[in-house]
Amino acid sequence: MTSVNHRALELLRAGTLNAKAQFKEGQLEAIEFLMGNSRRLLVVQKTGWGKSSVYFISAKLLRERKGGVTLLVSPLLALMRNQLAAAERMGLAAVTINSSNAAEWEIAKRKLLQDNVDILIISPERFANAEFSEEVMQLIAPRVNLLVVDEAHCISDWGHDFRPHYRSLSRVIKFLPPTLPLLATTATANDRVMEDLQQILGPNLTVMKGALDRPSLTLQTIRLHSQAERLAWLSENVQRVPGSGIIYTLTKRDAFFVTAWLRSEGLNVEAYVGGGENRDELEDKLQVNELKGLVATTALGMGYDKPDLAFVFHYQMPGSVVLYYQQVGRAGRGLSNAYGVLLQGNEDASITDWFINSAFPKQQEVSDVLSRLVVGPRSVDDLMSELNLSKGSIQKVLDMLNLESPAPIVKNASKWVRTSATLGNEFWERTKRLTDLRKDELAQMMRYVELPFGMHMAYLMKVLDSPPAPTNQPLLAPLPEKPSLETVNRAVEFLRRSDLPILPRKKWPNGGLPKYDLRGNIPPQFQNLEGRALSVWGDGGWGGIVKRGRYEDNYFDDHLVRACAEMIRKWKPSPQPAWVTPMPSLRHPELVPSFAKRLAKELGLPYQESLEKTTHSKEQKSMANATQQARNVDGSMRLDRSKMLLGPVLLVDDIVNSRWTYTIAGWLLASNGCPAVLPVALAVSGVDE
């Protein structure tokens, strides 16, 4: 063994905390490649193979040769945290500059300029940040020793996890010195993605690709269309499988919902979602088995490494096979066997369709934004006030146009400005290609869920264009496909008693409400108190009955009256309501008043119709952002003070979407002497991501 190889093995054992660790097939070859004369390498290996060991060992060896800093581009904060810890185990001085640690940026910059950093970990979005480019990249660029692009499939237009800012990285790579070593790693690149990566990372790109089979995983798919059945199955089988694991959901709302159910069943689980403040704490708790599991969105994915995860269950079907492989690959890395079970429900395809259809801007959205920028510079808030587009849609248009070359827009301070550059057909061709790809990926996933037991791993390898490898039969017996009727009944009851908060709005929209002459903060005495909604629109509890009552029966069943009254009694609002009033409507004038009157009788409270709808407005669900939603109901209601009763009021509506109707109705009541307004709705509607 050469001295370099001996040192590499020492670092491997230090980094893995295993004094007997040995290199897996291909790991040492990749390190030797980067240490030699060859320069650009793409490593495609299955999850758990140890790609991070390759780049950390290479970074350390290059640094020990008196080299400079290694730049590691990483897509997720959770992954960065793990990478920092792994780098430190190998004796690397590592820092990160990302959106969550702004307080540490100055210290990191100072260390970089003093050459006291071995590895700098950043997200691809940093390359689009002018301050980072000027204050960091321009100064350290001559000393960059190695560029590592983790999860490199994100660079590719075809990659399942494509992020617009990875396109700026592809432009950076084109201008790198040909002598600078570059390592790109991924576990989810099929042939189509690899061809794209070779064009971007080439021209002299060497590819090392291993078989993607995971013999330790027992894969299974189960179709359970109702929410109650899937909840019941999770309860029974999370308890049945020894060890800890992850339960994936498609949305944040479902992550919190499934967590609440499993906790009600006595299971020690927590929700893990994007934007959560305690994600690192939750990762640590799962790592040391303080939790039975995490109920997670895609926020817990790439790079999270717990070798003894015993199961990964999916409450709903992901939108692509490669994403599913990436997530299920969390399980069984250091175990001889583990479960990966996918449950399919009725709502899966519709949620995925929503993600597909909202992934890229529409031509009309781009045209609308550009037409406003032609008039003059605009901020995002300006555009929200002028266009019926969501904040996310506007930001997506701005981000993607800004990454074109030449860019038709540029940012100047907080405003966006139109340039003379035109938007070429290539932009729309790329958008169509990516949208069509996602539809194809969804179709592949639909085929996956239909496979019989024992055929799933072979299918994954085929779709991922894996090199040939033996696909053995699953090592574990399949888990039961049907939960017990007793647990299903408990899940039904849970669905029917799971009310949701209606939070008060505390500010009027940007630009205010001109007809009511309202702007700025809403005084606390004119804000609604926190309210309650009985269900999620259309769900497996009361939500489906609410939907039928609104669109088929034009009448809300007495079961909903009793359920809503029971919710209010359990809630015990403070102060207690003294009377009930309905939200007015010109579109369905009797629907909510009929329900509110029966609810008042059930609660033993006086009923009075004190609010009047004065003008027709569009349905709030057709309004795309908060400003448009607020303006939609501006001036549309009035209060008849002669019909107000004394004391706090229950303000009843059928569906709560934007909360602006409640906010304005509550302001009318409160500003005319009502001491407290308590919103109550039958259902919450709208997408929560």
The pLDDT tens digits for 344-363 are 987 777 778 878 887 788 99
Lowest mean per-residue pLDDT among 84-88, 398-402, 414-418, 426-430: 84-88
**89/380 Cα distance (integer angstroms):** 43
Kindly state the average pLDDT of the residues 505-528: 93
Q: Distance between CA atoms of 544 and 537, rounded to whole angstroms?
A: 7
Which CATH fold topology does 3-209 show? Rossmann fold (3.40.50)
Q: What is the C-alpha to C-alpha distance for residues 562 and 545, in angstroms, rounded to an integer?
A: 13
* All structural domains of the chain with their residue ranges: 3-209, 217-352+447-491, 355-430, 499-684
Before 203, cis peptide (omega within 30)? yes
In 10 A of CB 462, how many CB atoms? 13
Q: What percent of the chain has pLDDT over 90?
A: 48
Mean pLDDT in residue range 438-460: 92
| Distance, CA of 314 to CA of 233 (rounded, Å) | 11
Supply the CATH classification number for the domain 499-684. 3.40.50.2020
Residue 688 is predicted with a pLDDT of: 37
The pLDDT value recorded for residue 119 is: 92
Are 371 and 342 a contacting pair, CB within 8 Å? no
Average pLDDT, the chain: 88
Q: Is the pLDDT of residue 405 over 90?
A: no
Instruction: Supply the pLDDT for residue 404.
Output: 85
State yes or no: pLDDT of 632 exceeds 60.
yes
Using the predicted structure, report yes or no on whether residue 42 has a pLDDT greater than 90.
Answer: yes
Q: What would the DSSP string read from start to end of 174-222?
A: HTS-TTS-EEEEES---HHHHHHHHHHH-SSEEEEE-----TTEEEEEE
Bridge partner list, 607: 580
Of these ranges, 64-73, 96-105, 146-155, 240-249, the one predicted with the greatest mean pLDDT is 240-249
pLDDT at 342 over 70: yes
Sort strands 531-536 and 500-502 into parallel, antiparallel or unpaired: antiparallel
| Residue 538: HSE in the Cβ half-sphere, 13 Å Cα cutoff | 7
pLDDT of residue 23: 93
Range in 140-144, 367-371, 602-606 with the lowest mean pLDDT: 140-144
Residues 396 and 360: beta-carbon distance below 8 Å: yes
Structure tokens at 530: 């926190």
Tell me the CATH number of domain 355-430, given options 1.10.10.10, 3.40.605.10, 2.40.30.170, 3.40.50.300: 1.10.10.10
What are 438's two structure tokens?
């996602």
Report whether pLDDT(36) > 70: yes
What SS3 state is found at 655? Answer: strand
Secondary structure string (H, E, C) spanning 476-539? CCCCCCCCCHHHHHHHHHHHHHCCEEECCCCECCCCCECCCCECCECCHHHCCCCEEEEEECCC
Dist. CA 63–CA 424, nearest whole Å: 44
Greater model confidence, 89 or 641: 641
- Listed in sequence order, the residues at least 6 apart from 326 whose beta carbon sits closer than 8 Å to its beta carbon are 47, 160, 161, 187, 188, 301, 302
Q: What backbone torsions phi and psi does residue 372 show, to the nearest 5 degrees?
A: -75, -35
Average pLDDT of the segment spanning 542-564: 92
**What strands lie across the sheet with 94-97, from one edge to the other?**
94-97, 119-122, 69-73, 144-149, 182-186, 40-44, 205-209
CB 75 within 8 A of CB 161: yes
Question: Which token pair is 191?
Answer: 């042939």
- Region 75-80: mean pLDDT is 72
Q: For the purposes of burial, counting CB atoms within 10 Å of the CB of 2, is it exposed (0-12), middle (13-18) or buried (19 or more)? A: exposed
| The Cα angle at residue 489 between residues 488 and 492, in degrees rounded to 5 | 90
Q: Are 620 and 593 in contact (CB under 8 A)?
A: no
CA–CA separation, 332 vs 246, rounded Å?
12
Percent of the chain having pLDDT more than 70?
Answer: 96
Q: What is the structure's pLDDT at 627? A: 86
- Per mean pLDDT, which range of 253-267, 271-285, 550-564 is the poorest? 271-285
The pLDDT assigned to 137 comes to 82
Phi, psi of 195 (to 5 degrees): -60, -40
Max avg pLDDT among 25-39, 301-315, 458-472, 656-670: 656-670
- The tally of CA atoms less than 13 A away on the side-chain side of residue 357 is 6
Q: Which residue has the tokens 């949208």?
A: 435
Q: Could you read off the pLDDT of 375-402 as tens digits, one per residue?
A: 999 999 899 989 988 888 898 899 889 8
At a CB cut-off of 8 Å and minimum separation 6, what does 452 contact?
none
d(CA 144, CA 127): 15
Q: Could you say which of 3.40.50.300, 3.40.50.970, 3.30.70.20, 3.40.640.10 is the CATH number of the domain covering 217-352+447-491?
A: 3.40.50.300
pLDDT at residue 582 tops 70: yes
Q: How many CA atoms lie within 13 A of 98 on its CB side?
A: 19
pLDDT above 80: residue 468: no
Is residue 147's pLDDT more than 80? yes
Q: How many residues does the chain have?
A: 689
* pTM higher than 0.75: yes
- The span from the CA of 232 to the CA of 214, in Å, is 28
Question: Which has the closest alpha carbon to 304: 277, 338, 276, 272?
Answer: 272
Mean pLDDT on 584-591:
91
Per residue in 239-265, pLDDT tens?
A: 999 999 999 998 888 899 899 999 999
Given a contact cutoff of 8 angstroms between Cβ atoms, the answer to whether 92 and 119 are in contact is yes
* More confident site: 310 or 196: 310
Whether 627 and 389 have beta carbons less than 8 Å apart is answered as no
Asked if 217-352+447-491 and 355-430 have one fold, the answer is no
Give the SS3 label for residue 117: coil
Angle at 624 between CA 408 and CA 344, to 5 degrees: 105
